[in-house]
Amino acid sequence: MVEATSDCPLIWHEHIDYLIDLHMQSYPEYDLTTNILTRTFPRGFDLRVVNIEALEKSFKEIDNQPDFEHALTWLYLNPKGREKYKVQSWEAPDSQRRPGLEFTLDTESDLELLSWIFSFEAQGYNLELNPVQIINLIDTYPGQYAKVAKVERKDYFQELQEWYAANGAVKTMAYVKDQEWIDTPDNSIKPTKVKKQDEGAKKEDDKSTGKAKAKPGRPRRANK
């Protein structure tokens, strides 16, 4: 089963395909494969692939409200669950290693940024939701990201880990207070120009199979 949240509209279909392939290659050794165990991709490209058997088993084991709400966190984040399940982590290649960028849809500023990104497709640009090209687009027009960079967000990883520590990972209680937390964008990748394709070139590209692709990168595995 693949889990992708609705507040991540830029998730790339080739990321999904690659993560499924990676998971199936290691089946049944690993119960879950994800690209968020270590934050290396921009936020908004979060994916998880889980065995149905592990999902059904974990549903009977979860003993607290936060993990019931997030479901799969029991397998890869809760200390009690992590003792029982094997998790495989896929880390971003250098061209996509920008954990400080945020492409989720949570605020009005996020909506403005995402609408601006999607507008390039309507204007004839061939981005195809390729993460590398989206990152380069932000580097080319850094002013467009300014509002999003200032948004204070909560980190549910941090929230849950603090909740586990405070409640022994077993009690059913309310969430801890929201944390004021946000990554600082990493500007290590040099800006690149985003070029508009003419209609002839676009049609030719649509016919070809050699589309510009972001290399998936190599997986890193984590036991427990």
Gap between the Cα atoms of 163 and 31, Å rounded? 24
Question: Residue 216's pLDDT band (boundaries 50, 70, 90)?
Answer: low
Which residue blocks in the chain are alpha helix, DSSP H?
Answer: 13-25, 52-61, 65-70, 73-76, 79-82, 108-122, 131-140, 146-150, 156-167, 199-207
pLDDT for 202: 46
**Percent of the chain surpassing pLDDT 70:** 75
146-180 pLDDT, tens digit per residue, is: 999 999 887 777 888 888 888 876 433 333 223 22
Model-wide pTM > 0.85: no
Gap between the Cα atoms of 194 and 125, Å rounded? 8
State phi, psi for 184 to the nearest 5 degrees.
-95, 130
65 and 5 Cβ atoms separated by less than 8 Å: no
- Asked whether residue 124 carries a pLDDT value surpassing 70, the answer given is yes
Dihedral Cα 138, 146, 159, 63, nearest 10 deg = -50
pLDDT for 180: 26
- Asked whether residue 4 carries a pLDDT value surpassing 50, the answer given is yes
Gap between the Cα atoms of 222 and 76, Å rounded? 10
- Asked whether residue 2 carries a pLDDT value surpassing 60, the answer given is yes
Q: Taking Cα atoms as reference points, which of 85, 5, 6, 89 lies closest to residue 51? A: 85
